[in-house]
Amino acid sequence: MTARAYALLYVADPMKSAHFYGRLFGKAPFEAHPTFVSFEINDGLMLGLWSTSSADISSPTSPGGSEVGLVVATPADVDRRFEEWKRAGATILKEPADMVFGRTFLAADPDGHRLRVFNESDAG
């Protein structure tokens, strides 16, 4: 098995998306090129932002066709991250709410990819 895994999102403008994710994550990209940018989310998991117009790939989807889930430790962490992301300019699709799997909110990046922050409840 490899030491690193990537979640890849196809985006219209990797640099614009890098600016957006840099504000949300509070850090610079791991690597940045005109057609591909990546962020280290945690040990071994990377978020790759790949241009839909890149000549070296064949994009299987148009921008905005994915959802990325980010787990936080507590319901209070969900609310804190919501306030941080709102201040950073994220488009909020659903404000924090309690659901069967835990507390969650939903945001979107500039290409419409859904970003779900949640904590995992002890129930179930």
The predicted model scores a pTM of 0.76
Show the 3-state SS of 47-88.
EEEEECCCCCCCCCCCCCCCEEEEECCCHHHHHHHHHHHHHC
Give 52-101 pLDDT, tens digit per residue: 887 455 555 566 667 888 889 999 999 999 999 999 999 999 999 999 88
Q: How far apart are CA 13 and CA 34, in angstroms?
A: 8
Q: What is the pLDDT of residue 56?
A: 58
Report the SS3 class of residue 15.
helix
